[in-house]
Amino acid sequence: MDYPTMTPIQKAAVALVAFGPEVSALVLKGMKEADLERLTVEIANLRDVPSDIEEKVLEECSQIFMAREYISQGGIDFARTVLEKAVGSGKAKDILQRLESSIRATGFSLLKDIDPKQLGGFLQNEHPQTISLILTQLPAQQAAAVLAEFSPELQAEVSLRIATMEKIAPEILREIETTLEGHFAQAGVGEMSASGGAKAIAEILNLLDSTAEKNILQSLEAEDPDLAAAIKNLMFVFDDIILLDDRSVQRLLKEVETKDLSLALKAASEEVKAKIFINVSERVASMIKEEMEFMGPTRLTDVESAQSRIVEAVRRLEEEGQIIIAGRGKEEIIV
């Protein structure tokens, strides 16, 4: 075995064997089936690997990992500068060339540094389906900021499309990336997939201000009531009670039957239980705990139903302005 003539797949096989079975299993788990098969065959065909070859392969892996880290910190130019100081210009160039196909920023990754107002202005004349797909590729915080730049009608249309979006073919993504790259930078195209769904739009709506959120949900309810309900359920789950301030928890408990509360807490986290118990008297806390024990084994569906009723009370009280959920959209101003 001669190091200069080794193929990337051979180097990968040597590296995985050197990493050991636990690390190798984690790497293989995330690979495509075709690549997994090729790599497995290569590992099976490995014979005794000279220690100097193994050392060079691991050194190359270390350099590539280091280069990726530098790129993520400050981009390619930053990585090049640091690597040149560390290993010399020739070696740095060689490392970056090996990473060429993966270090070039894709059309989607280029968007992360663009001001939401600018990005919203650029996207507002695009087809709603295109906008929806692009927003699913952004962090929820940035997607929410961009969505806030649109008209209420476009917000509702885009939200509906995100909520009903399924997996997108890679070729469609590449076509959109090419368009984005033409506007924002010269870059390569990476392989990726996109998926939306109720969870994706719920995460975005959670970060919008309440007015925009309410308008979007009303439009969704008119279009698809079941979908709107699913999104609402994802926007505030029972464990999110910890986001309520103490005053809001106390207000909520006035709307909740003790039996429902006891039932809901059967499958709650210790953090949620603590949040509830510090907002009731010792007598009430003891009564709830006793009722939980008296219930014995309980069907999960019954517990979830009780939790859902409490979540509905939370949403209603929030809509009426009687409670505050921390971390929802813009910072709350308390007067």
In a domain, 331, yes or no: no
Q: Are 113 and 132 found together in one domain? A: yes
What amino acid is encoded at 105 in this protein? A
Boundary-marking domain end, from 75, 103, 131? 103
In a domain, 195, yes or no: yes
Q: Are 167 and 262 found together in one domain? A: no
User: Quick check: helix, strand or coil at residue 142?
Assistant: helix
Q: Are 91 and 183 found together in one domain? A: no
Name the nearest CA neighbour of 181 among 105, 261, 82, 76.
105
- Separation CA 50–CA 31 (nearest Å): 27
Q: Are 72 and 116 found together in one domain? A: no
- Separation CA 48–CA 216 (nearest Å): 63
**Residues 6+ away with beta carbon under 8 Å from 122:** 183
State residue 77's pLDDT score: 65
- Separation CA 2–CA 279 (nearest Å): 70
- Separation CA 154–CA 216 (nearest Å): 9
State residue 330's pLDDT score: 42
CATH code for position 138: 1.10.220.30
Q: Along the 335 residues of the chain, how does pLDDT read in single tens digits?
A: 677 778 878 888 888 888 877 777 777 666 666 666 677 767 777 777 888 888 888 888 777 777 767 665 555 666 777 777 777 787 777 777 666 544 444 556 667 667 788 888 888 888 898 898 888 878 777 888 899 889 999 999 999 988 888 767 666 777 777 777 666 654 333 333 445 567 767 777 766 766 777 778 888 888 888 888 878 777 777 888 998 999 999 999 999 998 999 999 988 889 999 999 999 999 999 999 999 888 888 888 888 888 888 988 888 888 788 887 765 444 444 43
Q: Are 74 and 122 found together in one domain? A: no
Residue 244's DSSP bridge partners are 325
Question: Where in the sequence is the domain holding 9, given as residue range(s)?
Answer: 3-103
Instruction: Looking at the chain, list the stretches that DSSP marks H as alpha helix, in order from N- to C-terminal side.
Output: 8-19, 21-29, 33-44, 51-87, 89-98, 100-103, 116-123, 128-136, 140-147, 152-163, 170-184, 198-205, 210-223, 225-235, 246-253, 258-265, 270-277, 282-295, 300-319
Q: Are 7 and 84 found together in one domain? A: yes
Question: Greatest CA separation found in the chain?
Answer: 77
Tokens representing residue 145 in the block = 């900021």
State residue 210's pLDDT score: 62
Residue 233, number of CB atoms within 10 A of its CB: 16
- CB of 132 closer than 8 Å to CB of 162: yes
Instruction: Say how many domains are in the chain.
Output: 3
Q: Are 122 and 168 found together in one domain? A: yes
Q: Are 17 and 73 found together in one domain? A: yes
Residue 296, sorted as left (phi over 0), alpha (psi -120 to 50) or beta, turns out to be: left
Angle, helix 210-223 to helix 198-205, in steps of 10 degrees: 150
Tokens representing residue 207 in the block = 């970060």
In a domain, 332, yes or no: no
